[in-house]
Amino acid sequence: MIVLATGTSGFLGRTVVVELIAAGHEVRTLQRRPSGVAGARDILGSVTDAATVAEAVAGADAVVHLAAKVSLAGDKREFRAVNVDGTRTLLDAAAHAGVTRFVHVSSPSVAHAGSALSGAGADPADPVNARGEYARTKAEAELIALARDEAAMRVVAIRPHLVWGPGDPQLTERIVARARRGTLPLLNGGTALIDATYVDNAASGIVAALHRADAVGGRAYVLTNGEPRPVGDLMAGICRAAGVPAPRFSVPAAVARAAGAAIEKLWEVRPGADEPPMTRFLAEQLSTAHWFDQTEIRRDLQWDPAVTLDEGLERLARHYAHTRA
C-alpha cells in the first residue's frame, strides 16, 4: 500500500514509518520538519494547510495520522487548529482521494475524567470531561474521525499509553532531567499502578491496526505493554537506566494538584520556556491508577507486544551507556 503518515518527525512517528517500510509499504510523510527516515518520501507542511494535505494524500491507499499539538499548556487556538481542524482537513482530503484505511492515533486521556482506571477498556472519547486542552481537542478529533468510518474508508482509533524508549525527548528525558536536578517527586509514595508502552510496541500495534482496519473499523483501542507496575518503580527503572538517582521524596497528591492549579494560572499569564513542572492533569496521572485491559486489542488486531518492560529498560540502559561513551 501507499501510506501517508503525518507527524513523523516526532519520536513515535519516526518509529511508525520504520515499521511501515519494514512491512513493505511505500511511505510518504507529512510534517513541518524532515522525518529523517531513509526510504520515506517527505512532504513538508502542516495538516492545517488544506492544499499541502491534498497534495500529500493524492494517490494514497491509507493514512496513519499522528500529527498533533502535544503539550500540558499552550494557546487553546493552536490545540484546536492542529488537533481538531487539522484532523478534519485530513479526513476530508483522504475521503476525496479515495483512501480506504485511516488510523487515527489518539490518547487514553480522551476518556479520562480524573478518576483511577484499573483494567479499563477504551471508553468513548469525552471532550466535555477530558482534562486539559490537549485531551479535550484530541477527544473531539477522535469522535470526528470515528464518525467518518464507512465501507469506503474504514477508520480505527489507537490510543497508545505513555510511550517511552531510547531517544524519547518527552516522557523519558523529562523524567531523567528532573531526577538529575532532584526535582522529580513521587506523589503519594509512587504507589499508583500504571502501564506504559515501549515505543516499538506502540509502532507495531499502530501498523497492525492499519492491516486490520477492514475488520475493526469504527473502534477505538487503548494500546499498552500490558505490564502494570507502580509508577515509582517505573520511574526508578528509567532513572537506573540513565544512571541518575531515582526519586525519593514524596508529596501528597492533593498538594500537587493545588500546586498544579496555581502553576496553570501562572502559565496562562507568563508561560515558561519548557513544560510546566506540575499541572492538575499531571498530578492525577502520577497519583491514580492507569492500566488497561489488553484482551480486545490483542485479539482484534491479532497482535502482541514484542518488547517486555524489562527488555525495554535494558535497551534504554544500553542507549544511555552509548550516549555517555
**80 within 8 A of 88, measured Cβ to Cβ:** no
Q: Hey, what long-range contacts does 140-145 have (CB within 8 A, 24 or more apart)?
A: 140/83, 140/84, 141/68, 141/83, 141/84, 141/87, 141/88, 141/104, 141/106, 142/104, 142/106, 142/110, 142/220, 144/84, 144/87, 144/88, 144/91, 145/65, 145/87, 145/91, 145/102, 145/104, 145/106
Q: Is 117 helix (H, G, I), strand (E, B) or coil?
A: strand
**31 within 8 A of 7, measured Cβ to Cβ:** yes
173 CB-contact burial (10 Å; exposed 0-12 / middle 13-18 / buried 19+): middle
Residues involved in catalysis: 134
Q: Which amino acid is at 37?
A: V
- In angstroms, rounded to a whole number, what is the distance separating the alpha carbons of residues 286 and 240? 19
Chain CA centroid to CA 116, Å:
19
